[in-house]
Amino acid sequence: MKRGLLSLLLLSFWFGTASVSAEELIIYSGRSDKFVKPVVKAFTAKTGIKVVLHTGSSTALLNKLKLEAERTSADLYISNDAGNLQKGSDLKLFSSLDEKSVDSIPQDYRAADNSWVGLSARARVLVVNSKDESVAAIKSVFELADPKLKGKLAITHSSNESYIAGTTVYLRATDEKKVKQWLVGMKKNVDGSVYNKHSKIVKAVASGRKSIGLVNHYYIYRHLKKKPNASIKIVLPDQGKDDIGVAWNVAGAAVVKHSSKQQAAKQFIEYMVSEAGQKQFAEVNQEYPTRPGVSAAANVPPLSSYKVANVPMRDLGKYRNATLDIIESVGMP
């Protein structure tokens, strides 16, 4: 009798643990916890499904998924870069999402087979020292190659994911010759001195140590939130009639193909593309919702106020290697 009771208790413990585990998702996240946790908290409050974040570099986590294959514990993958998302799709690491669950997001901001979906977008813009008249008239990213900016230009190192993505957009919107000339000119202007963070570029321009920089838009607004009187302004580049427009990149998510919790993982995606999820995720990141009709944070330029380069986000993965080849051929730091 006691042995039977013990067996029953063991079975109850086993199935109870399995039930709890089934309601817990593991996300490999290439975004900082502070930008993902508020949305995760809201999702858990709504669904009761717990979420554990394993945070790191988007590229490193994608490589981890590839190496782990069917042994992975991950249920979802979040990246701050469409290039990595499309690379994961090409490697068959993700499950395709139902069209109905993601059709609120325009096709240019998701994979052709719906194996990933963009959640928020960022713009590549110019941060300019507002007191420096020598850069007041600059209106295009391609002007950053002008020799007059030697010693005045601030950019990240060329392995930065946003740098690679932005260069891919310029390559797709123009041609290889123009992009190569641009890279060569910027290389001369920075003379080997580059930054490892966009926030450091904004600080350098605000302090007057540099005159102009190329950054993701939200770094400027984060700086201004702390220092509203900083001597910086944002320039939305390439807005002329024949110009390409601003380069965009998206942060997005995918369901891992080998996850045993497909339904719960897809439920998370559905929440993230809902109006509530979109508004919350974009506001905490100071980015643009990819779902039309959902407003961005009040302090960022309205999407309707400027032109965006006509390049589908999946191209950032498709042409990533071509971009890397050009960057390497120039020897960008």
Mean pLDDT by groups of 10 residues along the chain of 333 residues:
41 36 85 94 96 96 98 98 97 97 96 97 97 97 98 97 97 98 98 96 98 97 95 98 97 97 97 95 92 92 95 96 97 97
Cα–Cα distances in Å, from 16 out to 11, 81, 97, 126, 171? 8, 38, 29, 54, 54
For residues 229 and 206, give the distance between their C-alpha atoms in angstroms, rounded to a whole number: 10
Beta-carbon neighbour count of residue 258 at 10 Å?
17
Fold classification of 2-121+250-298 (topology level): D-Maltodextrin-Binding Protein; domain 2 (3.40.190)
Sign of CA dihedral 146, 167, 123, 74: negative
Which stretch of DSSP H or E encloses residue 9?
Answer: helix 2-22
Tokens of 39: 């949305």
CA nearest to 117, candidates 284, 260, 274: 274
Q: Is-contact 250 118, C-beta < 8 A? A: yes
Structural contact between residues 162 and 156, judged by C-beta atoms closer than 8 angstroms: yes
Give the pLDDT of residue 283.
87
The pLDDT score that the predictor gives to residue 14 is 35
> Do the beta carbons of residue 288 and residue 282 sit within 8 Å?
yes
What pLDDT score was predicted for residue 307?
97
Q: How many CB atoms are closer than 10 A to CB 36?
A: 22
CATH code for the domain defined by 122-247+319-330: 3.40.190.10
Residue 323's identity, in one-letter code, is T
Tell me if residue 118 falls in helix, strand or coil.
strand
What was the pLDDT predicted at 182? 98
Q: For the whole model, what pTM was predicted?
A: 0.89
Residues of the chain within CATH 3.40.190.10 domain(s) are: 2-121+250-298, 122-247+319-330
Q: Is 202:208 a contact under the CB 8 Å cutoff?
A: no
User: Are 269 and 97 in contact, with CB atoms under 8 Å apart?
Assistant: yes
Report the residue count for the chain: 333
For residue 9, the model assigns a pLDDT of 39
CA distances 241 to 13, 68, 85, 87, 245, Å, are 67, 48, 32, 33, 9
Nearest alpha-carbon partner for 216 in 204, 199, 231, 192: 199
Q: Hey, how many other C-beta atoms are within 10 angstroms of the C-beta on 320? A: 22
The pLDDT of residue 298 is 86
CA dihedral (216, 61, 94, 268) positive or negative = negative
Spacing of C-alpha 116 from chain mean position: 13
Tell me what percent of the chain is helix, strand and coil, each rounded to the nearest 5: 50, 15, 35
d(CA 9, CA 309): 62
Strands 50-55 and 24-29: parallel
pLDDT at 91: 97
Nearest of 82, 78, 96, 85 to residue 172 by alpha carbon: 82
Beta strand extents in 80-223 (DSSP E only): 94-95, 117-129, 153-154, 212-216
Helix (H, G, I), strand (E, B) or coil at 129: strand
